Structure 1
Amino acid sequence: MKKIGFLSFGHWMNQGSLVKTAQDSYLQSIELAVAAEQIGLDGAYFRVHHFADQIGSPFPLLAAIGAKTSKIEIGTGLIDMRYENPYMMAENAGLTDIITQGRVELGVGRGSPEQVLDGWKYFGYDYSEEDVKEVARERTLEFLKLLEGHHFAEPNPQPMFPQAPGKLRLEPYSEGLRQRIWWGAGSKETAIWAAEQGMNLQSSTLVNYESKEPFHVQQANQLRAYKEAWKKAGHTFEPRTLVTRSIQPITTDFDRQLFGHQDEELKYDSVSFLAYHQNPTIFGKTFAGEPDKIAKELAEDEAIKEADTLLITIPNTLGVDYNIHLLDTILKDVAPELGWR
């Protein structure tokens, strides 16, 4: 059994899209999450990018989804900590988790190259690209500490409102949220670091090219290293591990028109360099084809076997109806064949 969710980038564009504006993107994201819960999906996750025609401010969206649903997990994959103030983020996350009644699953990390150079400087942060790795980790650790609910702030001796004696903490505090923070790891080293810090693990459709093995094997090795490091750390709760896949079942003529070419063009892993990355990155293949063919290929994926949660990247610009068709097909025609349902 696995938890199955979707991951949306929330793109909008004028040409060839059913999602033409920011309003379309955010409102359809809410509608999609509601419909996904109705068909039995476990999670609605959203990627966060800045200075782009796609989702960039997640907390209002997660809260709105939480107000219209009752069971589905609501998360990010991931929030770029280069842009975040840990204190403001802790307040927003705590409030969102209260509104959603404890269903927030926050993925955080360094993030990928953005649309503008040193975009965090426009957010008021002055550091170089060389500082980014440590800055993202330091802010994450500070954020985690705030979520523990410790009282740390010196009280005003003449406050505006009556308050209990002693130091204060950020409010609202949501108990349990600390255990639902995920780190987006792209390498074995960062996966081990996430385990040591007591965070769950997210791994995307790309990881650092650390060996000549296939993508899914390299990713599985990262997950295994994470689990071993978790055991050594001695944390008091069970971790979760998540992988993302591009899966396009083809059951209709329209499916074949849209994605039939991917059956051949994207069926292999690819290796390339991302901006600012000294090491090459390996991208996982797309699983496209008839449901029984996809099921056989997915059954050989070692990383999926290691993970307890699978996110399916969706083509959100095709609209809510098509994406529910895609997700429902996976739930009914692929997942049972693999024992996920």
Structure 2
Amino acid sequence: MTTRKSIGFLSFGHWTAHPESATRSGADALLQSIDLAVAAEELGADGAYFRVHHFAQQLGAPFPLLAAVGARTSRIEIGTGVIDMRYANPLAFAEDAGAADLIAGGRLQLGISRGSPEQVIDGWRYFGFSPAEGESDADMARRHTEVALEVLAGHRFAQPNPRPMFPNPPGLLRIEPYAEGLRERIWWGAGSDATARWAAQKGMHLMSSTLKDDESGEAFHVQQRRQIDAFRDEWSAHDHGFEARVSVSRSIFAIVDDRDRTYFLGSGERADQFGSVGPGNCSVFGRSYADEPDALVEQLRADEAVAAADMLLLTVPNQLGVDYNAHLIESILTHVAPALGWR
């Protein structure tokens, strides 16, 4: 049985002032991200997604970028993978997201999460946030998320001024601009089975990356597929009024020319890795794939999580430049996806 799978790219937007980098400044990272989204749309890709990291030479402020991509494209989905909600004012988040979604014509697919280890200690404190008494930073992120979901749904909560500068509609006011349907296009970046189930309870799609909590010692793709199953089982117990979606991320490089051989031949991690990204936390990191197309097809057939997901996000080495990254995307769309029944 063949099933069409959405295929997009995920860029971390790294830049470094190094002569061998094609992306040497923040301006380069932003402008090249827009150009890559345009190129990906022309190639027939389904999504342009961007990672958000603060205090790092990477993409940090997502909404100006998403709005610019939305203005330059017409079809491709535009998203994040992911926005750290520890750093987000939920009302400002809803305003910015609504404006960007309207510019894009309703194409935003926003991945959010509690975040990962960052560049600085408790960086969210510099943004003016701190957990309430008895809360962890993860609890704070989920609290911010729940508020954001409510206002994205158009909840009216603000008492109007009896003498406003401009006339108000009757009743309580909501966050504007309001983007119809955006509440149904929010994804949660889950690192465990429990947080995947929580996302399903809250009516958020599941975004699962190349690492997760090691909960069984099994291969990464098996654990991730179990996470997907847990999410879908939980979703089926609720009536959210729209269908759940699941994305997974992979580093996949089809070797089809000498450039690919120079960059990636022999670079694919053939096995998962187990380690820690924080105190008391053991994680499993999924393998990467770099091989000739026929070999990639066979390797990906065995990846249970890729098979179970609706969307595959291809992580791209953005510092190799727009043209080369467009070539990487085209190679997957042309040489790999059709053989797997995805196109």
Trace 1:291-310 onto structure 2 (pairs within 5 A): 291-310=293-312
| Aligned partner (choices 218, 224, 227) of residue 213 of structure 1 | 218
How far apart are residue 108 of structure 1 and its match?
A: 0.3
Asked if 1:155 corresponds to 2:196, the answer is no
What are structure 2's unaligned runs of at least 5 residues?
A: none
Q: Shift in Å at residue 235 of structure 1?
A: 1.9
> C-alpha distance in 2, partners of 1:299/1:54?
33
TM-score by length of 2: 0.97
Report the counterpart of residue 21 of structure 1 in structure 2: 25
> Could you tell me which residue of structure 1 aligns to residue 337 of structure 2?
335
Aligned equivalents of 1:330, 1:198: Cα separation in 2: 31
- 2-structure distance, mates of 1:130, 1:270: 31
For 1:150 and 1:54, locate their aligned partners in 2 and report how far apart those are by CA, in whole Å: 34
1:107 to 79, 104, 111: 111
Q: Which runs of 4+ in 1 moved over 3 A?
A: 127-130
1:261 aligns to 2:266 (yes or no): yes
Which whole-Å CA distance do the structure 2 matches of 1:336 and 1:115 have between them?
Answer: 40
SS in structure 1 at match of 2:289: strand
Supply the AA of the counterpart residue of 1:314: V
| Conserved 8 A contact 2:131-2:139 | no
**Distance in 2 (alpha carbons) for counterparts of 1:108 and 1:217:** 24
State the partner residue of 1:185: 190
- Report what 2:284 is aligned to: 282
Q: TM-score, normalised by structure 1?
A: 0.97
Residue type of the alignment partner of 1:114:
E
Deviates more, 1:194-203 or 1:161-170: 161-170
2:12 corresponding residue in structure 1: 9
Q: What does residue 328 of structure 2 align with?
A: 326
2:60 to 21, 45, 56: 56
Q: What's the % identity of the aligned pairs?
A: 57
Query: Matched residue pairs, number?
Result: 338
**Structure 1: segments with no counterpart, 5+ residues:** none
Instruction: Indicate if the aligned counterparts of 1:10 and 1:55 stay in contact, CA closer than 8 A.
Output: yes
Tell me by how many angstroms 1:127 deviates: 3.5
CA contact (8 A) 1:9 1:46 kept: yes
Q: Distance in 1 between matches of 2:259 and 2:189?
A: 34
Q: Give 1:69-84 correspondences, 5 Å limit.
A: 69-84=73-88
Cα contact 1:244–1:311 (8 A) shared by 2: yes
SS in structure 1 opposite 2:150?
helix
Deviation at 1:234, TM superposition (A): 2.4
Counterpart contact for 1:220–1:306, Cα < 8 Å:
yes
Q: Which of 90, 95, 119 is the aligned partner of 1:91?
A: 95
- Is the CA contact 1:121–1:127 (under 8 Å) kept in the aligned structure 2? no
The residue number in structure 1 matching 2:72 is: 68
1:215-254 mapped onto 2 (5 Å cutoff): 215-254=220-259
**SS of match in other structure, 1:280:** strand
2:46 to 18, 42, 49: 42
Amino acid corresponding to residue 292 of structure 1 in structure 2: D
> Secondary structure of 2:278's match?
coil
Cα deviation code 1:148-192 (max 9, x no counterpart): 102111110111111222111110001100000000001100000
- Cα deviation for residue 63 of structure 1 reads 0.4
1:130 Cα deviation from its structure 2 partner: 6.6
Q: CA RMSD in A?
A: 1.1
Counterpart residue type for residue 12 of structure 2 = F
